[in-house]
Homo-oligomer: A and B are copies of this chain.
Amino acid sequence: MFKVLKTSGSARRGILTTAHGEVQTPFFMTIGSAGAIKGLIPSEIRDLGGEIILANTYHLHLRPGEEVVAKAGGLHKFMNWDGAILTDSGGYQVFSLSKIRKLKADGVEFQSHLDGKKIFLTPEKAIDIQLKLGSDIMMCLDECAPYPAEREYVEKSIALTTEWAKRCRTFFKKNRRFVINHEPTTNAPRLLFGIVQGGIYPDMRKKSAKDLVKIGFDGYAVGGLAVGEPKDVMFEVLGKTVPLLPKDKPRYLMGVGTPQDILESVERGIDMFDCVLPTRNARHGYLFTSKGVVRIRNEQYREDFSPLDPNCGCMVCQNFTKAYLRHLYISNEILSLRLNTLHNVAFYQNLMKGIRHSIEEGRYNEFKKGFLRNYR
């Protein structure tokens, strides 16, 4: 299922085979929370080099409901995407979106952010929903400790996460044959990932990693980072956590991050990323370019009839000027959201292509330095 093709330092270039195709690693998953990328159609993601996207169990459970998606033949068919899909477990959204959240041994009770309805999510339920969505990579339900959190809280939290991971694994093994199996393009099975927690405490991370590896998963995520801790703390924890994970399994850093974050994390051996940054920042007019972030609303672009990024081959940079993108943004045009998103997604996919290519050629460090020299 996962094969490391080449390394450059600790950076890895590999292939992860899913039920919906091979995915080249390291990769970045564009977020389609509700089964849609903001303003883009699936074929555009594919054209930009995206082979896998991320959808949210929490969002899809609330709307339209996994039963509707299952009746449609699974999420791939529902949204017309034939690439791979990773679904998170809903644990993080319960943590970040719900007003109330009651942790119990059996699961977590929370309120829908849409209508306030109370929902009880268990490890089994989280996997059941993901099976009904027909996800290619499913995530265990975890508890994401806030930052800062006391040692004692984190200790209990990882014990709960480990317990839930066991139950997810059991339920997954027993029921995975019931997955919505819309036209899988390979013979690969569906995958289940565990999530290493432990806050900023290296010994907790160690315990969490050891427990999860013992249970055994198809891949391991590092969760609970980028939740407010300083960057140097994040990379210190990451640097200590990655070596605890099996070399032959993919490693996924959840919810990260900026181009710089991604470069630093690949260097530490991370293979998979997802983040709202490219799509959310697009909607706020923050556009990624090879020279850094352009805030397109700025007056300086009023009569700037040059492309956003002359080094970018995307449809936006090939057809429109900064002055026009600024005009669309200032005028609240829907086209602004679409074009900005397309460009930012293209930028992230191109970054990952550059990363993969440089690892193949054994010059990852050089690539990283070159990128950061221009990017301000």
| Contact partners of A303 in chain B: CB under 8 A | 68, 71-72
How many copies are assembled? 2
A327-367 residues at the B interface, CB under 8 angstroms: 327-328, 330-331, 333-335, 337-339, 341
A147 at the B interface (CB under 8 A)? no
| Contact partners of A324 in chain B: CB under 8 A | 35, 72, 78-80
A351 to chain B, nearest CB (A): 23
| Contact partners of A36 in chain B: CB under 8 A | 328, 331, 333, 335
A39 at the B interface (CB under 8 A)? yes
B39 & A330 in contact (Cβ 8 Å cutoff): no
A117 to chain B, nearest CB (A): 15
A302 at the B interface (CB under 8 A)? yes
A275 to chain B, nearest CB (A): 18
A38 at the B interface (CB under 8 A)? yes
With A41-B319, A63-B327, A79-B324 as given contacts, are A334 and B337 in contact (CB-CB < 8 Å)? yes
Interchain CA distance A333-B64 in the complex, whole Å: 13
A84 at the B interface (CB under 8 A)? no
| Contact partners of A34 in chain B: CB under 8 A | 327-328, 331, 333
> A302 is contacted by which of B35, B41, B68, B320 (Cβ under 8 Å)?
B68
Q: Per-residue CB proximity of A290-323 to B under 8 Å, as 1/0?
A: 0000000000001101000000000100011101
> A338 is contacted by which of B39, B72, B305 (Cβ under 8 Å)?
B39
A209 at the B interface (CB under 8 A)? no
A347 to chain B, nearest CB (A): 18
| Contact partners of A330 in chain B: CB under 8 A | 63-64
| Contact partners of A319 in chain B: CB under 8 A | 41, 80
A17-42 residues at the B interface, CB under 8 angstroms: 34-41
A334 & B38 in contact (Cβ 8 Å cutoff): yes
A323 & B40 in contact (Cβ 8 Å cutoff): no
With A72-B321, A327-B63, A327-B64 as given contacts, are A335 and B37 in contact (CB-CB < 8 Å)? yes
A305 & B39 in contact (Cβ 8 Å cutoff): no
Q: What 9 pairs between A and B have smallest CB-CB spacing?
A: A39-B334, A36-B335, A64-B327, A34-B331, A36-B333, A38-B334, A80-B319, A334-B337, A72-B305
